[in-house]
Amino acid sequence: MTKQDETEFAMALLHNPMALTVSVSQAALILGIAKSTAHKECRSGFLTEGVPVIQVGRRRVIAIAHLRAKLGLSAISAFVG
C-alpha cells in the first residue's frame, strides 16, 4: 500500500460513522505529522492536547471522536434506523 493509499484509508476512517478508533500511525497521517513523532508523543498519554491515547494491552489507539474535535469537525452519528 502506498503512502497516498494509507492516507486516503485513514481519512475514510475519520468519516466512517462505524469506526471508533484509529491506530497511532493512522492518526499521524490524519494530522499530517510524522509517525515517529506521533508514537513518541503517545508515551505521555496524549497524541496532542485534547487527544488522549487509549491503551489496550500493548496496543495504543486514538478515538476518532477526539480527532474530529481537535480538527474542528462535527461529531457524526452511527445511529441508523
Neighbour count for residue 14 (Cβ, 10 Å): 19
Tens of pLDDT, residues 5-36: 888 898 888 888 888 999 999 999 999 999 99
Q: Which domains, from first to last, does the chain contain?
A: 3-70 (1.10.10)
CA 65 to chain centre: 9
| 54-68 pLDDT per residue, tens | 999 999 999 999 999
Mapping DSSP to helix (H, G, I), strand (E, B) and coil, where does residue 39 land? helix
The pTM of the full predicted model, rounded to 2 decimals, is: 0.83
